[in-house]
Structure 1
Amino acid sequence: MKTKEAYIEVDPGVELYVQDIGTGDPIVFIPGFTFTTEVFTEQVEHFSKTHRTIVIDPRSHGRSTITVQGNDYVTHGTDLQKVLNALKVENATFVGWSFGCLTAWEYVRQFGTDHINSLILIDMPPKSLSLQQDEDWVEGPLDDLAAAYTNYLRNPQGQRDFISAYATGVMVQRELKDEELTWLVEQSLKTPYYIAANLFASGLFSDYRKEATQSSESVPTLFIVAEHWAPTAHTYLRKLTPQTSVKTLGGHLMFWEHSEKFNELMDAFLEKNR
């Protein structure tokens, strides 16, 4: 099956790279912080056999335009709506990974859920920072995240070191081959460090708890969370989004490392909510 590729203008001079393959009910995959369409290769191959499968490089990611404007998740939510309009996509299942979940929630904030069929949210709390560490599911301690912003996202080598440490410590559960780690780092470095810093700050200071609750009450929603913080995430989501289904699998990049198991979870959810 041939992949259709397109560049869709979302602002004057700013184009987003989009892959569009297959027919049927649409699924839209949104990659996380500084990553690209390529991380979803196994999902595209699997789901394009039964669904219209769309994957987006957000602005300043991958093959999309690098721009100093709009590198925040408010703009990314608007960009998503413009892409869906251009492709004439309605009633899609959104699959957001990591900060890609923020794009999905921002879309909900701006445009509601009338044109969303369901949501699959991969390993991202709706509010990244909290001082209530014992109660809330968060990205990490404030001091650690501040140090990452201050010490790493200041030059290309810092970004390289940050992603390397995150990939080996959080993303996967096995030892990465050298070529795998190199590939992951190269994916991230397609977004320049000064834009990565903007995105990092925008993501960490976001608060989509209201939208997470609202969307989970309006459309079928599945959270898939990594094993390393599953107990905290499950407890937190039971309070914030009690109607949400929550599953646990692997590390932060579980859909890449455990693609067959992940695809089975998605298949079961999609079948139940057709």
Structure 2
Amino acid sequence: MSIQGGKYIEVGPGVEIFVQDIGEGEPIVFIPGWTFTTEVFSKQLAHFSKTNRVIVIDPRSHGRSSISLHGNDYVTHGSDLAKLMKELDLNEITLVGWSFGCLTMWEYIRQHGTEKIKSLVFVDMSPKPLSTNHEENWVEGPLDDIGAAYTTYLQNPQGQREFVAGYATQVMVQRKLEEQELNWLVEQSLKTPYYIAANLFSAGMFSDYQEEARLASETVPTLTVIAEHWAQIASAFIKKLSPGSQVEVLGGHLMFWEHSERFNEVVDQFLLYSNETNSTD
């Protein structure tokens, strides 16, 4: 089946990244989270491609991209993003990352700085996902819970299926999912084999991009969108670490899908602010 604007870009020997590239104007790149695909951003693709060039990617070992037995970490994902940007001749870009997709953005900044970046949108991800002090830091959960998720659920396909289903119903959305919606979300994740999902999970959880988060907010216009369920601790964490970042609170972890109109409006307003800020520099 032909996908609108779909193409493949080689980022390494035998490794191709699937991208959708639609629209004209200033480029916006959307990066999905852990094991998810371009399809979660369908409502953003439809909306922003009316005014911008929109690129949505399946990271390495996600979706339609090559399943690779190496490079399933965010250091490599950051390098892959740089290669995509070069191949697509992208400059003055807005990067939008959701969940672990934010780690790819911070890693890119660690490797290449912010020279080619116009603005940044981080969707519901702490730059330090794991800490022994979960009561004062914005983290994915208590250390024991994260360890249990890895050892209990991410060791076989059934466990991955159960983990994603539970996360989708408890954290991603605020309403009751229809059965077909839940099945669709789980199917997105299962396009990444469980053994690669486990690698990505551990690589992400042990990341620490606090310095890159601080640098980003000091260098270019930055927006952080946070889910309501941890808004208080997450907002305080971001305001302390990255005081230059705008902060918006909206919905659950998948707010851009469940509350797409409001999310798109928030990003539109931020892009307007970003344009005004850059024009006065």
Sort the TM-score into its range (normalised by shorter chain). Answer: over 0.9
Residue of structure 2 equivalent to 1:201: 202
Structure 1 CA distance for aligned equivalents of residues 238 and 38 of structure 2: 28
Q: Which residue identity is paired with 1:250? A: G
CA distance in 1 between counterparts of 2:207 and 2:234 reads: 18
| Residues in 2 aligned to 1:152 and 1:14: alpha-carbon distance in whole angstroms | 27
Structure 2 residue matching 1:222: 3-state secondary structure: strand
Aligned: 1:48 with 2:49: yes
Q: Distance in 2 between matches of 1:187 and 1:5?
A: 17
The whole-number CA distance in structure 2 between the counterparts of 1:254 and 1:11 is 33
Other-structure match for 1:183 = 184
* Paired residue total: 273
For the residues of structure 1 that align with 2:265 and 2:7, how far apart are their CA atoms?
Answer: 29
2:274 match: 273
Partners in 2 of 1:92 and 1:140 — Cα distance? 32
Cα distance between partner residues in 1 of 2:264 and 2:95: 15
SS state at 1:272 partner: helix
Q: Partners in 1 of 2:186 and 2:133 — Cα distance?
A: 32
| Per-residue deviation, 1:238 | 1.0
**1:139-184 superposed Cα distances (whole Å, 9 cap, x missing partner):** 1000000000000001100000000000000000000000000000
CA drift of 1:3 comes to 2.9
Show the 5 A alignment for 1:77-96: 77-96=78-97
Distance 2:268 2:239 in 1: 23
Q: Deviations over 1:223-266 (max 9, x none)?
A: 00000000001111111001110000000000000000000000
Instruction: Name 2:256's counterpart in structure 1.
Output: 255
Question: 2-side partners of 1:258 and 1:250: how far apart?
Answer: 7
1:213 corresponds in structure 2 to 214
Tell me the secondary structure at the aligned position of residue 20 of structure 1.
Answer: strand
Q: Deviations over 1:4-25 (max 9, x none)?
A: 2110000000000000000001
Distance 1:28 1:71 in 2: 20
Task: Quote the Cα distance in structure 2 between the aligned partners of 1:234 and 1:97.
Answer: 17
Mapped to 2, the partners of 1:134 and 1:80 lie a distance apart of 33
Tell me which moved more, 127-136 or 87-96.
127-136
Query: Which residue number in structure 1 is paired with residue 229 of structure 2?
Result: 228
Matches within 5 A, 1:3-82: 3-82=4-83
Mapped to 2, the partners of 1:5 and 1:90 lie a distance apart of: 20
Per-residue Cα deviation, 1:201-224 (whole angstroms, up to 9, x for no partner): 000000000000001100000000
User: What's the TM-score once normalised by structure 1's chain length?
Assistant: 0.99
Using the size of structure 2 for normalisation, the TM-score is 0.96
SS at structure 2 position matched to 1:133: coil
- The residue correspondences of 1:160-179 to structure 2 (distance < 5 A) are 160-179=161-180
Deviation, structure 1 residue 135: 1.6
The whole-number CA distance in structure 2 between the counterparts of 1:109 and 1:69 is 21
C-alpha distance in 2 between matches for 1:3 and 1:211: 34
Q: Which amino acid aligns with 2:217?
A: S
Amino acid at match of 1:99: F
CA distance in 2, matches of 1:177, 1:195: 28
Query: In structure 2, the residue corresponding to 1:273 is in which secondary structure?
Result: helix
Rounded to whole Å, the distance in 2 between the matches of 1:247 and 1:123 is 10
Residue 80 of structure 2 aligns to a residue whose secondary structure is: helix
Tell me, which stretches of 5 or more residues in structure 1 are unaligned?
A: none
Secondary structure at the aligned position of 2:164 is classed as: helix
Instruction: List, as ranges, runs of 4+ consecutive aligned residues in structure 1 with deviation greater than 2 Å.
Output: none
Inter-partner Cα distance in structure 2 for 1:8 and 1:221: 28
Question: More displaced, 262-271 or 125-134?
Answer: 125-134
- 1:134 shift after superposition: 2.4
- Partner in structure 2 of residue 158 of structure 1: 159
What value does the CA root-mean-square deviation take over the aligned residues? Answer: 0.7
